[in-house]
Structure 1
Amino acid sequence: MKLVQKLPVALAVACVMMMSSCSKEDVQTPEPKVESVNVHSSLRGAGGVIALPQFPSTFGATGVDIYPTSWERAIYPGNASWPGTPSVAAFPTGVSNRTHAFGIAHQWVKPLPAIPSAPGANSFVTFVTNSSEFDVAKRADVEAKIKHLVVGQKYSIEFYVATTSIGVSGSGYAKRIIAQVAYPNYFVDINLTGKKAEWVKASFVFKARYQEETFSVAAASENNTFAYAHIFVDQNSIKKVR
C-alpha cells in the first residue's frame, strides 16, 4: 500500500535522523464490580498450576522496534506498517522513557511526569500518527496479546496513555487515542486535547471470546501533525468482573 500523503520534508529528515540515532480528559467509565480471578480448570497447566489472566506490562528496554513481551507493532493491509510501504521508517514504534523518544533519540519538549500507578517506572510503549482522522495509512499502531482468559468471562482492564512532542517542524501532539479489544464491540475513545505530556487513566470492560484476545491502540493528531502517543500497563491491570 502507498502512503496517500508524504510527511513534510523537515519532519521526514528528523524521522530519518531519529531512526539512525536509535539502537483525556480522564475517561470516565462505570466502576465495575471486580473480584480476584478464579481461573477455569481448562487453563490449569502441568502439575495443576493455574495460569492467571495476563494483560502484559509495558516494562522493558528502550529502542525502536524493541517491545516488551507480548507487545508488537500492529501490521495489517493499508496501515503505515504494512510491509513494503515507504513510510515504515517514518513511523517508528517501540519503547521510550520519560525524557527521550525510544530512550536515546529526540528529547521530549516537555518531559513526562512520574506514572501515577508506578512512580518508579520509566518505560512504556510508543506509537505514532500523522493523521487527525485515524487514517490507517498515516499511523503506526501497537498491540498486545491478553492471555489465559476464560471464554464468556468479563474482565476490566486499565492503563495510562499520554502524548509528547519532539518540537521539530511539522510535529505536534495526539488529540485522541482509541484502545480496543475486538473492535467495535469493546473500546474506549480517550480525549487528550490540552493534555500535553500528562498521563491519563483509562479503562473498559470486555467479554472474552477466546482464551487469547488482541488489545490494540491507535492515535489521531492535532491538525495532521506528526505526534507521539504512549501507553503504560503495569502487572496488575486486569481483573475479573462479576
Structure 2
Amino acid sequence: MNLVQKLPMGLSLACIVMMSGCSKENALTPEYKMGSLNEHSDSRKADVVIALPQFPSTIGVTGLDIYPKGWTRALYLGTPPVAEFPTGVSNRTHAFGNFGVAYQWVKPLPEIPSAPDANSFITITTKSSEFDATKRADVTAEIKYLEVGQQYSIDFYVSSTSVGGRKAGYARKVIAQIGYPSTPKDIDLVGKKAEWVKESIVFTALAGKTTFYFSAASEHDHFAYAHIFVDKNSIKKVL
C-alpha cells in the first residue's frame, strides 16, 4: 500500500491534485523577473560615480579678459583695472589674439612640448619686481574632485614674452601656489625669454577642492607678460 492509500480520502485527493499540477522543472526552478534584475543592476552602476580629479585646461578662445572654463582673474584688495593690467588668453604670436602690430610678440613662442597642436594659453601682466598686488594681474583656477588625504601631482608650462618698447621687459619669475595659506613655488625665468619651462607641484588634498594661484614679477619694474599652459591631463594621483 503506498503513501496516498494510507492517507484519508480528502488528503489523498489533495495530494494527487498538487503532485499532478507541479512538474519537476517547476519545483526546482524559481521564477525570476530578468527585466527587474537588469534594472537593479543598471541602477547600481548609475549610483557609483567616480569623478576624476580636475585641473582645468588653459586651452580656449583668445581674447582680452576672456578665460577658459574654470579659470578667472584673481581679485585682491586694490586689484588694478583690466585696462591697466590686462589678462586673458593669448596665442604664440600675439597677446590676447589681437593681430595688431602693438600686440605682436618680439619673439614668437615655440610649440608647447606636451601639446604641439595647442596655440592658446593664459597670459597675465605685471610691472612689479616685488609682487605688489596693486601692480599686477593674477589668475586662479579651482582644482576639484579631490580625495582628502590623497597626494596629487600637477604639471604645467610657464613662459614670458615681450611686445617690445622702451618700458617693456620680461618676467624674472612666476609664482604658482595651491591653497592659501601655503608655501608658493618660485619659478625662475631669468635668461629664458620666450621659452616654455615645465614645472610640477605635488600636494596633499585637505579638502575636496582647492585653488591654484598664478602670478608674476618683472625685471626692474618694467611691464612684462607671463603665461601658463595646462592641458586636460595635467593632474594625477601619486601612487
Q: Normalised by the size of structure 2, how large is the TM-score? A: 0.77
Query: How far has the Cα of 1:168 moved from its partner?
Result: 2.1
Query: How far has the Cα of 1:49 moved from its partner?
Result: 2.5
Q: Unpaired runs of 5+ in structure 1? A: 1-44, 81-86
Q: Which has more helix, going by share of residues?
A: 2
State how many pairs are aligned.
Answer: 192
Give 1:55-74 correspondences, 5 Å limit: 55-74=55-74
Aligned counterpart, 1:131: 128
Kept in 2: contact 1:101–1:107 (CA 8 A):
yes
Cα pair distance change 1:157/1:186, threshold 3 Å: farther
Kept in 1: contact 2:126–2:216 (CA 8 A):
yes
Kept in 2: contact 1:62–1:96 (CA 8 A):
yes
Structure 2 CA distance for aligned equivalents of residues 224 and 68 of structure 1: 29
Q: Deviations over 1:112-167 (max 9, x none)?
A: 00000001100000101010111111000001010101112111111000000000
Give 1:155-234 correspondences, 5 Å limit: 155-234=152-231
Structure 2 CA distance for aligned equivalents of residues 76 and 70 of structure 1: 18
Kept in 1: contact 2:65–2:82 (CA 8 A):
no
Structure 2 CA distance for aligned equivalents of residues 206 and 149 of structure 1: 11
Query: How far has the Cα of 1:183 moved from its partner?
Result: 4.2
Structure 1 CA distance for aligned equivalents of residues 200 and 176 of structure 2: 9
Give 1:69-88 correspondences, 5 Å limit: 69-80=69-80, 87-88=81-82
SS at match of 1:119: coil
State which of 223, 232, 236 in structure 2 corresponds to 1:235: 232
Aligned counterpart, 1:101: 95
Cα pair distance change 1:54/1:157, threshold 3 Å: same
Query: How far has the Cα of 1:187 moved from its partner?
Result: 3.0
State which of 81, 92, 109 in structure 1 corresponds to 2:86: 92
Q: Deviations over 1:71-125 (max 9, x none)?
A: 0100011332xxxxxx431101110000000001500000000000001100000
Is the radius of gyration larger for structure 1 or structure 2? 2
SS at match of 2:220: helix
Aligned counterpart, 2:39: none
SS at match of 1:88: coil
Letter in 1 for 2:58: T
State which of 134, 140, 143 in structure 1 corresponds to 2:140: 143
Kept in 2: contact 1:143–1:215 (CA 8 A):
yes
Q: Deviations over 1:25-67 (max 9, x none)?
A: xxxxxxxxxxxxxxxxxxxx96322110001111100001111
Kept in 2: contact 1:188–1:203 (CA 8 A):
no
Q: Unpaired runs of 5+ in structure 2? A: 1-44
Aligned counterpart, 2:51: 51
